[in-house]
Amino acid sequence: MLVNLTYEVFGKVQGVFFRKFTKDKAIELQIVGWVKNTEYGSVTGIAQGAKEKINVFKKWIQYEGSPHSRIDTAKFKEEEIEILEFTKFEVRH
């Protein structure tokens, strides 16, 4: 089963390489999508892939993150999809 996960992470998540580590984790898990900073200090994005891998990614985003980040809260919206919309995982600006 393929899943589309929309996420937003709040806390100390900018200026701590959160996007780079998120991309690395996504590539490790063979997930596609994107991540970017928002203008109000959070990080947001979309991740798509197999449900089991998305669950691992979700846990990582919510509890681990980059080494110097501090995650206060994370919001998720998940839905089943038929096909992947993206071909890779990228950092957007």
**Annotated active-site positions, please?**
19, 37
Residue 44's contacts (CB-CB under 8 Å, 6 or more residues apart) are: 6, 7, 8, 9, 35, 36, 38
Q: How far apart are CA 93 and CA 62, in angstroms?
A: 22
Per-residue tokens: 48:
């798509």
Residue in the structure block whose two tokens are 């984790």? 25
